[in-house]
């Protein structure tokens, strides 16, 4: 009977493992999301694994040997607990498939603040002040709303000059 298992991959080879397992007729799932991150002051979109170094594999271990899966390029081994491979409930994997790379997940993982969120200015003459993020101003800048001398002013700041405040702040 086919069950879902967790396989550990070699560093940054989740996609390679997925492709090679699929080439062998073994179904595998690599949960990922496209997220916006700051890299060298610029916002870039990247594909990131939700569970770096791991993929889910659907197999009947009475037909396909765990050694076959473990010797697949990109795969290190099946994750084991107590000597046996770690089974994952099907509902969990199918739920991940349904929500993988959704807008809600993308927003949760993104570094970029959303319109209306509070940020703290970290550099320049306004260091320490809080502002409200209004919108992106290209790839390297953003428009923030500051309150100075009881007057609201929108100003452009470099992405490296402010940071998102945590939800608890």
Per-residue pLDDT tens for 122-160? Answer: 888 889 999 999 988 877 888 899 988 888 888 888 888
CA–CA gap between residue 169 and residue 129 (Å, rounded): 13
Q: What's the domain range around 89?
A: 3-111
Is 127 in a helix, a strand, or coil?
coil
pLDDT at 111: 63
- Does residue 149 come out as left (phi exceeding 0), alpha (psi in the -120 to 50 range) or beta? left
Most confident of 9-23, 28-42, 126-140: 9-23
Within a domain: residue 143?
A: no
Dmax over CA atoms of the chain, in Å, equals 73
pTM of the predicted protein model: 0.62
pLDDT tens per residue across span 71-112? 999 999 999 988 889 899 999 988 888 877 666 666 665 667
Within a domain: residue 59?
A: yes
Q: Report, as an integer, the average pLDDT of 29-54.
A: 82
pLDDT at 97: 85
Within a domain: residue 82?
A: yes
Within a domain: residue 81?
A: yes
Within a domain: residue 10?
A: yes
How far from each other are the two terminal CA atoms of the chain, in whole angstroms?
A: 50
Domain total for the chain?
1
Q: Are strands 75-78 and 54-59 parallel, antiparallel or unpaired?
A: unpaired
Number of CB atoms found within 10 A of residue 37's CB: 14
What is the CATH classification number for the domain harbouring 22? 3.30.70.940
Q: Looking at the predicted structure, is the pLDDT value of residue 21 above 80?
A: yes
H helix and E strand count, the chain: 4, 14
pLDDT at 9: 94
Within a domain: residue 75?
A: yes
pLDDT over 70 for what percent of the chain? 91
Within a domain: residue 144?
A: no
Query: If you search the block for the tokens 């076959």, which residue do you land on?
Result: 68
């Amino acid at each position: 009977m086919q069950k879902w298992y967790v396989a550990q991959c070699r560093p940054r080879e989740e996609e390679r493992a997925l492709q090679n397992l699929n080439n062998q007729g073994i179904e595998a799932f690599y949960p990922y999301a496209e997220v916006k991150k700051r890299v060298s002051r610029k916002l870039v979109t990247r594909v990131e694994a939700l569970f770096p170094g791991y993929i889910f594999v659907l197999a009947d271990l009475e037909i396909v040997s765990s050694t076959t899966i473990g010797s697949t390029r990109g795969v290190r081994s099946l994750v084991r607990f107590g000597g046996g491979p770690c089974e994952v409930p099907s509902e969990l994997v199918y739920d991940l498939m349904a929500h993988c790379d959704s807008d809600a997940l993308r927003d949760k993982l993104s570094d970029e603040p959303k319109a209306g969120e509070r940020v703290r200015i970290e550099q320049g003459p306004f260091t320490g002040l809080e502002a409200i993020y209004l919108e992106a101003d290209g790839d390297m800048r953003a428009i923030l709303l500051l309150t100075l001398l009881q007057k609201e002013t929108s100003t452009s700041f470099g992405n490296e000059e402010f940071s998102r405040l945590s939800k608890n702040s």
